[in-house]
Homo-oligomer: A and B are copies of this chain.
Amino acid sequence: MIDFVRILIEHNIAPSIQRIKILEYLSKYKTHPTADMIYRELVKQIPTLSKTTVYNTLKTFTEKGLLTALAIFDNEIRYDFNTDQHIHFKCSKCGLVFDLDGSHDTFNEDFIEGHKITEYHINLKGICKNCLKKESK
């Protein structure tokens, strides 16, 4: 059982019910959800939850390094509890986002051509295994 309250305190974030639930959701469902997906699920548990709170919380978490914000196609931000370097693949059929942690060699450099690098993302797009299977039938 992960101690979400401790994680929040360690990141200098006051552990409100909303924040605990949002962090719990992200750690449990590694589907790279959008703010709206998180809202729609959690409002069932917390009927008074506001979508603004979800947005604010996700912003805070990202700024404090607790999450990674992903901008992978289709103009929507997705959130990832896994802040380690890994590769993302989005299926253009079903819309699911998969992790590909292939041991691809990554940039380690802090500077490239004089620019300071703070984030590094590899995003792939295509048709996922499941959708390919359906297609072939």
> B-contacting residues of A (Cβ < 8 Å)?
71-77, 89, 91-92, 98, 100, 102, 104-105, 107, 112-129, 132
Contact = CB atoms under 8 A, between A and B. Distances in A.
Nearest to A122: B122
Contact of A119 (B102, B117, B119, B126): B126
A115 B126 contact: yes
Contacts of A122: 120-123
A116 B134 CA distance: 13
5 contacts: A71-B71, A100-B112, A116-B127, A117-B125, A121-B125
B129 A124 contact: no
Nearest to A114: B129
